[in-house]
């Protein structure tokens, strides 16, 4: 078990969210499921026997999903970055994470159907943005700012000064 792991607060669909995430990421696993008991039912208003929390792991990262009620909503202040080696990976994660009502956003950001924010980023972007050539970095940034889903080929062409 990791010393620090994010806890994602859902209204009442933590189990659905965990199934969604573990279906997308190949290296994933559902762990312990805790259920509300009679005492928890009185405090939470959730029925005894319903899912309270689920531990799960995706790509080596531990998470907990909690059915905590409608008190809190996700926002972009916290997001998860998916580092992709190829454009094919970018396309795969983009398609999967936006499925079922996800919202595409600027510069490789998206919100999945549960409202969780993700950044789907090619690892090539890090190399391009860390070039020693300021003009090259500027061209990459200008191209990046025009994109929603990131395109490795267009970023590389921009870096080289090609259209």
Q: In order of start, what are the domains of the chain with their CATH numbers?
A: 1-71 (3.10.180.10), 74-163 (3.10.180.10)
Distance CA 90, CA 122 (A): 7
Distance CA 99, CA 90 (A): 14
- pLDDT band at 41; cut points 50, 70, 90: confident
**pLDDT tens digits for 57-116?**
999 999 999 999 999 999 999 999 999 999 999 999 999 999 999 999 999 999 999 999
Distance CA 106, CA 144 (A): 9
Q: Are 117 and 110 in contact (CB under 8 A)?
A: yes
Is the full-model pTM beyond 0.75?
yes
Give pLDDT, residue 44: 84
């Amino acid at each position: 078990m990791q010393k620090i792991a994010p806890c994602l607060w859902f209204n009442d669909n933590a189990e659905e969210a965990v199934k969604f995430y573990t279906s997308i990421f190949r290296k994933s696993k559902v762990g312990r499921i805790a259920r509300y008991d009679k005492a928890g039912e009185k405090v939470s208003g959730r029925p005894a026997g319903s899912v309270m929390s689920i531990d799960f792991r995706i790509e080596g990262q531990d998470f907990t999903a909690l059915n905590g009620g409608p008190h809190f909503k996700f926002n972009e202040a916290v997001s998860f970055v998916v580092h992709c080696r190829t454009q094919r990976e970018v396309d795969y994660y983009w398609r999967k994470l936006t499925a079922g009502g996800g919202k595409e956003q600027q510069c490789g950001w998206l919100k999945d159907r549960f409202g969780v924010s993700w950044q789907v980023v090619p690892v090539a972007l890090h190399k391009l943005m860390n070039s020693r050539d300021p003009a090259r970095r500027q061209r990459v940034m200008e191209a990046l700012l025009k994109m929603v889903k990131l395109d490795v080929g267009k970023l590389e062409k921009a870096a080289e000064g090609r259209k």
